[in-house]
């Protein structure tokens, strides 16, 4: 017999850990791209041009390649606004 409260806590902890990792990675990556874009102004154009190759790795009904590209475009737009 499985204790559901432990399973739920474990799932909640895993989700929270994944969210924290995602936030940390986004912060570090955004800062790195900002740093590099100031030194290499063409970087954002190159990244923008590469988005056609970006896709969602999900293999179920949640897969949405364009939604992934929209997120990337928002990052690039935000970086351009800081330039």
Task: Judge residue 73's burial from the number of C-beta atoms within 10 Å of its C-beta, 0-12 exposed, 13-18 middle, 19 or more buried.
Answer: middle
In the chain, the N- to C-terminal Cα span, in Å, equals 58
Residue 40 and residue 34 in contact, taking contact as beta carbons nearer than 8 Å? no
Average pLDDT over residues 54-76: 96
Q: What's the domain count of the chain?
A: 1
Q: What is the pLDDT of residues 9-20, one digit of tens each?
A: 788 999 999 999
* Residue 31 backbone phi and psi in degrees, to 5: -65, -40
Structural domain of 78: 4-82
pTM for this model (two decimals): 0.73
């Amino acid at each position: 017999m499985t204790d559901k409260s432990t399973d739920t806590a474990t799932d909640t902890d895993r989700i929270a850990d994944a969210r924290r990792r995602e936030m940390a990675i986004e912060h570090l990556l955004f800062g790195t791209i900002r740093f590099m874009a100031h030194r290499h102004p063409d970087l954002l154009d190159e990244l923008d041009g590469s988005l056609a190759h970006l896709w969602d790795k999900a293999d179920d009904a949640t897969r949405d390649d364009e939604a992934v590209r929209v997120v990337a475009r928002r990052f690039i737009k935000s970086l351009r606004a800081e330039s």
